[in-house]
């Protein structure tokens, strides 16, 4: 009888473990979204001073899960060696001297990315974001193919085609859509990776929208997927002539 009871307990334990795994598995991400924004577009809405004339980091987001561990607090001392690169390539456009933007990105997205062993510390996460940013070199690719800030307009298909042909994966390109609908303003570009950090297609709905308040606690408009038929304005840095 003792043996039978032991078997029953073991089976129950296995069942509980299986149930736990089934419940947890849908929350494990399968794709990472490297997101960069254009400072002139952002600051035209949020009244900040866009000192950067290159694409800066917004974040690296798993495709599943948000705020996965509220007790895992951000600690800037753990990434001291990364700070010079973070301040240059991943600045807080509204309060440059603050680390609140990085704290927000860690708590909302980094704690979820950390489900993977390769990203399971703050240093691994922020270091990998910087690594992927430099590997992709979106700003360099845009300039290489003469997609530069200009008072002249681009077609959406031209911008998307350059990125698609170079990386051989589909990006998600987002714009601001001023009232009137005659032009859209280039604002944000997402490039995706699989769990092995290999480039992958970004999937999206044509109605995908990202409110700026969702990531910087600011009141403003929103980025949404660019319209294929509307001319695209890629605004130069204020006070700097278009290229």
CATH number, domain of 225, equals: 3.90.730.10
What pLDDT was estimated at residue 18?
33
- Point out the catalytic residue in the list 27, 73, 100, 105: 105
Examine residue 20 and state whether it is found in any structural domain, yes or no. no
Known catalytic residue at 109: yes
Examine residue 130 and state whether it is found in any structural domain, yes or no. yes
Examine residue 185 and state whether it is found in any structural domain, yes or no. yes
| DSSP state string for the chain | -HHHHHHHHHHHHHHHHHHHHHHHGGGS--EEEEEEE-HHHHHHHH-------S-EEEEEEESS-SS--TTS---GGGGGGGHHHHHHHS--SS-TT--HHHHHHIIIIIHHHTTSGGG-SHHHHHHHHHHHHHHH-HHHHHHHTT---EEEEE-HHHHHHHHHHHHSS--EEEEE--TTSS-EEEEEEEEEEETTS-EEPPP--TT-EEETHHHH-----EEEEPPTTS-EEEPPPTTS---
- Point out the catalytic residue in the list 46, 47, 67, 109: 109
Examine residue 226 and state whether it is found in any structural domain, yes or no. yes
Structural domain boundaries enclosing 97: 32-202+221-234
pLDDT value at 19 more than 70: no
Examine residue 158 and state whether it is found in any structural domain, yes or no. yes
Examine residue 37 and state whether it is found in any structural domain, yes or no. yes
Average pLDDT over residues 12-37: 61
Q: What is the pTM of this model?
A: 0.82
Examine residue 45 and state whether it is found in any structural domain, yes or no. yes
Average pLDDT over residues 16-39: 67
pLDDT value at 217 more than 90: no
Known catalytic residue at 58: yes
Query: How many domains does the structure of the chain reveal?
Result: 1
Q: Average pLDDT over the chain, rounded to whole?
A: 85
How do residues 47-89 score in pLDDT, each as one tens digit?
788 889 999 999 999 999 999 999 999 999 999 999 999 999 9
């Amino acid at each position: 009888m003792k043996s039978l009871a032991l078997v029953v307990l073991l089976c129950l334990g296995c069942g509980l473990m299986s149930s736990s795994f089934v419940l947890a598995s849908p929350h494990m991400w399968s794709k990472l979204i490297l997101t960069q924004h254009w400072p002139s577009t952002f600051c035209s809405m949020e009244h900040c001073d866009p000192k950067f004339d290159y694409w800066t980091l917004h974040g690296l987001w798993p495709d599943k899960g948000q705020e996965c561990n509220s007790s895992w607090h951000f600690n800037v001392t753990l990434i001291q060696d990364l700070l010079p690169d973070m301040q240059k390539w991943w600045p807080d456009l509204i309060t440059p001297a603050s680390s609140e933007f990085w704290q927000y990105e860690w708590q909302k997205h980094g704690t979820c990315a950390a489900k993977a062993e390769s990203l399971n510390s703050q240093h691994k996460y922020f270091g990998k974001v910087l690594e992927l940013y430099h590997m992709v070199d979106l700003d360099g690719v845009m300039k290489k193919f003469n997609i530069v800030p200009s008072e002249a307009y681009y077609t959406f298909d031209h911008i998307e085609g350059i990125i698609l042909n170079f990386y051989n994966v589909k990006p998600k390109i987002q714009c601001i859509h001023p009232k009137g609908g005659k032009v859209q303003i280039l604002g944000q570009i997402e490039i995706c990776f699989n769990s092995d950090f290999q480039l992958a297609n970004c999937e999206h709905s044509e109605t995908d929208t990202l409110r700026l308040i969702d990531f910087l606690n600011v009141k403003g408009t929103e980025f949404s997927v660019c319209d294929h038929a509307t001319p695209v304005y890629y605004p130069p840095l204020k006070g700097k002539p278009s290229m």
